[in-house]
Structure 1
């Protein structure tokens, strides 16, 4: 695999941005057995969580090795503490990652533009972002992966379990409260509506059903000791409660916390679950 850091000027954010990229190669060195393909590469947009950046997945997991086995390109952008939204007090990260970034990448690199070759995944805040982007633009993505996260709109509404209430008393909880204010203009004193808006993944999921749009498949996993477990369970109950499982929703859990050990394992499971075309022949790149 080829690994690179890509810097360019974002019109949406009006500043320079950094993106980490993994691209399959025709020939690999000792110890690697990459999948071999013709044509443009399928692509995974892989999103970081709270306190992370575009380097997290490459530094803390073996995503490059896992992607090589699939012949899969991986695009890892930085989104700061934006919750992958157009912030009320900040930059337009939703527009950047949902619209501008895929257009830029597909023009510069041999990336497939076909829906069936395009996937989203993220952990924690990035899992919420993957659902928010994928359910806003369901015609653009064949599948969504969401690890260790819930519906962040319900966090702002105070609809969280005891585990999250404890978290809000911690230094990380302070960062989350600040995020709600910067992203949505929400404060405890002025709780603007977030549930029932386009920040609410349940609202987006139902809107797609009402409009009879093409739906992506959704994979989810969370550790039983994760502080997001109660929220992840709420998301599970919502999607499993939809008649006929229209999103082909699959949920997995096991003992584990909000840790890279958990995400390193389950990103592999997600990649194996993806509805990817079979490996074919050498890509001339």
Structure 2
């Protein structure tokens, strides 16, 4: 009795064609995240009493530990107000698990691997606004100079501006614009995610009741228990209107005895990127790439970046601007994966430095 093996073979080949090729769809390789401490000389002696030794989260791409001779561009990512780096990197309870987001993005061959660095800018007042202040410390200098220097000396980076990018969300988006437009010799490309505090109108419409509530605060414990708006008022005052002669907070609030303080408001206006932008146009023209976006339901911020778009168009500075369907936080992980990392993959230099 002869048994034909053709039907069996036919079934076998059909099985191979129609079933998923599991061996060809290996899971995305994972990078590693570590948390280190970096000393900030310019953060020493801040009147808030915050430590100058700052936690810094570092994401190393999948190939970092296997390709020992390879160097990488670095993306500096600045977190938002009331956040810290650990909440972004999965070291504590988080709303974004950045390593997972980045691993997913790097699974796409079109997105090139880079190191990502986030300093912990959480302060006594819940955020530094990445500004120089005797009250909270010189955060602008720490990010642009001290942190960059440390990362370049301790990791296999490509240590030039063409291979450094700067991005951030909310307060971090503010910091990105503030620092990015001042230091084109350090960062070559910037991406602002829902940047806060871009214009001079910040807190200008605060009610008399809110002002009284803020002025009534007497202790740091009361600040810690206060609502978000009150915390933001103290943080911005500490960053933009510090006063070494005004304990216990060493800052000047925008109102005193219910009256708006013009000098304080002038100082705040001087720290608004849209107010200072004209003097930094030559620097912005030196940047390799500029991008910014915001959710359409994040109305005040969406309105401010629309103004930024107009300013850059007026000066004929090339950039990318998008208002997408969303609010202040609901699609940030998606934006980082789908937009931010592609942007820096395209605009940063991945050229390996030549050996001397």
2:331 matched residue in structure 1: 262
Question: Residue 84 of structure 1 contacts residue 129 of structure 1 at CA under 8 Å; is this kept in 2?
Answer: yes
Q: Does 1:250 align with 2:320?
A: yes
What RMSD in Å do the two structures reach over aligned CA positions?
3.2
- 1:41-190 residue pairs with structure 2 within 5 A? 41-59=72-90, 60-61=96-97, 62-66=100-104, 68-69=106-107, 70-80=112-122, 81-152=127-198, 154-156=200-202, 158=204, 171-185=227-241, 186-189=252-255, 190=261
Unaligned runs of 5+ in 1: 30-35
Q: CA deviation at 1:144?
A: 0.8
Counterpart check, 1:225 vs 2:294: no
Deviation at 1:188, TM superposition (A): 2.5
| Greater RCO (Cα-Cα under 8 Å, separation 6 or more) | 1
Query: In structure 2, how many angstroms separate the alpha carbons of the residues matched to 1:240 and 1:118?
Result: 26
SS at match of 2:137: coil
Larger radius of gyration: 2
How far apart, in 1, do the equivalents of 2:152 and 2:64 lie?
22
What's the TM-score once normalised by structure 2's chain length? 0.66
Report the Cα offset of residue 196 of structure 1: 5.7
Q: How many residues align?
A: 266
Residue 7 of structure 1 deviates from its aligned partner by 1.5
Alignment CA distance shift 1:10-1:279 (3 Å)? closer
- Give per-residue Cα distances to partners, 1:126-181, cap 9 Å, x unaligned: 00001111111122222111111233452446279x9xx9xx99921111111122
The TM-score with structure 1 as length reference comes to 0.80
Which of 269, 273, 276 lines up with 2:343 in the alignment? Answer: 273
Cα distance in 2, alignment partners of residues 139 and 280 from structure 1: 18
Match in the other structure for 2:8:
none
Contact 1:150–1:231 under 8 Å retained in 2: yes
CA contact (8 A) 2:189 2:348 kept: no
Unmatched 5+ stretches in structure 2: 1-30, 45-51, 91-95, 215-225, 242-251, 256-260
Cα contact 1:157–1:194 (8 A) shared by 2: no
Task: Encode CA deviations 1:33-53: one digit per residue, 9 max, x unaligned.
Answer: xxx897420110001001101
Q: Match of 2:22?
A: none
| Alignment-derived partner of residue 279 in structure 2 | 207
Of 59-68 and 171-180, deviating more is 59-68
Deviation at 1:201, TM superposition (A): 1.3
Give how far 1:4 is off.
Answer: 0.8
